[in-house]
Amino acid sequence: MINHKNWHEKHVETLSFGSRLADSVARGMGSWKFIILQTVLVILWMGLNIIGYFYHWDVYPFILLNLLFSTQAAYAAPIIMMAQNRQNERDRLQAQADYQTNIDAKLEIEALTIKLNQLEVNKLDKIIAMLEQMKK
């Protein structure tokens, strides 16, 4: 059984656990679901601290919330950069595979062109031979 994997399947097989995790985190953080969930949590955080009756764990100007956002950004930026670097690598591999496909197609087209030219020449030779026989 011949195993024909495309460039993407081969690339996915080479990814480490950390690479897959970084891609997953970047994909999640770059989604509307994440933005909406984070917005809801921020509104709840601020609302509970503004109107909280008994305990305000992070009073205005919400320094703890700012610290959480800074920490999130400090971790998110390198994770997203790792995912972008892998995307660049995937793009490079795809471009290389496309280039190889184009080279293979060009060689095949050239071979077909030569074959067609040979067929044409052979046909013309037969026609000329038939015409010469008809003259005789």
* Residue 134: partners with Cβ closer than 8 Å, 6 or more residues away: none
**Does the residue 75 lie in any domain?**
yes
**Does the residue 36 lie in any domain?**
yes
**Does the residue 84 lie in any domain?**
yes
Return the higher-pLDDT residue of 118 and 18. Answer: 118
Is the pLDDT at 6 greater than 90? The verdict is no
Q: How confident is the model at residue 17 (pLDDT cuts 50, 70, 90)?
A: confident
Q: How confident is the model at residue 53 (pLDDT cuts 50, 70, 90)?
A: low
**Does the residue 136 lie in any domain?**
no
**Does the residue 79 lie in any domain?**
yes
**Does the residue 89 lie in any domain?**
yes
Q: For 58-110, what is each residue's pLDDT tens digit?
A: 888 899 999 999 999 999 999 999 989 888 988 998 999 999 999 999 999 99
**Does the residue 95 lie in any domain?**
yes
The first and second tokens of residue 39, run together, are 């917005």
The first and second tokens of residue 118, run together, are 């040979």
Q: How confident is the model at residue 5 (pLDDT cuts 50, 70, 90)?
A: confident
Write out the residue range of the structural domain in which residue 42 sits.
Answer: 17-102
User: Stretch 39-44: mean pLDDT, rounded?
Assistant: 95
Q: Say which residue the tokens 């909406």 belong to.
A: 36
The first and second tokens of residue 46, run together, are 């601020």
**Does the residue 94 lie in any domain?**
yes
Supply the pLDDT for residue 68. Answer: 95
C-beta pairs of 74-83 under 8 Å, 24+ apart in sequence = 76/25, 76/29, 79/22, 79/25, 79/26, 79/29, 80/26, 80/29, 80/30, 82/19, 82/22, 82/26, 83/22, 83/23, 83/25, 83/26, 83/27
Task: Please count the structural domains in the chain.
Answer: 1
Task: For the chain, give the percent of residues with pLDDT over 90.
Answer: 51
